[in-house]
Amino acid sequence: MGIIREKKPKSSSPSSTSPCADLRAAYHNCFNRWYSEKFVKGQWQKEECVAEWQQYRACLSEHLEDKHLSRFLEAEGLDGTARADSANVADGAETNS
């Protein structure tokens, strides 16, 4: 089990073909920070990274060629899949408590 040496983080994103890679990295970095520093500590009242998300999403909707995938992008709010999952989480919560 080799430990992979830490290189300088995020200096360049290697081999990504997506033209949205930079916007994606900006959004994901912002999201990850928000998730670890706010969300898990109960500070979920305010949505953050909104500007990053809007720019990234606009790029995606322009470049996402796969029809199966754009279906998920177009759905405002969330589709059936996610709703089914949230129902499962509710089930799980009941069995856990």
Partner 1 sequence: MVKAYAQEHVYKHPWEIVTSASWRKFADPENKRTLSHVLDVDTLNHKLDAESGKLYTTRAITIHAPGPWFVRKIVGQDICHCVESTVVDGQSRSMQLTTRNISLQKFIEVEERIRYDPHPDNPRGWTMCKQETSIRIKPLSALASMAEKVEQRCAERFLQNSVKGREVMERICKYLESESRGITF
Main-chain phi, psi angles of 88, to 5 degrees: -65, -40
Q: Which is nearer to partner 1, 58 or 69 (CB)?
A: 69
Q: Shortest Cβ distance from residue 11 to partner 1 (Å)?
A: 9
Footprint on this chain of partner 1 (rule: CB under 8 A): 1, 3-4, 6-7, 9-10, 12-18, 20, 24-25, 27-28, 31-32, 35-37, 39-42, 44-47, 53, 56, 60, 64, 66, 68-69, 72-73, 75, 77-79, 81-82, 85-86, 88-89, 92-93, 96-97
| Residue of 58, 56, 38 whose CA lies nearest to 46 | 38
Burial grade of 56 (CB within 10 A; 0-12, 13-18, 19 or more): buried
Residue 74 is which amino acid?
A: E
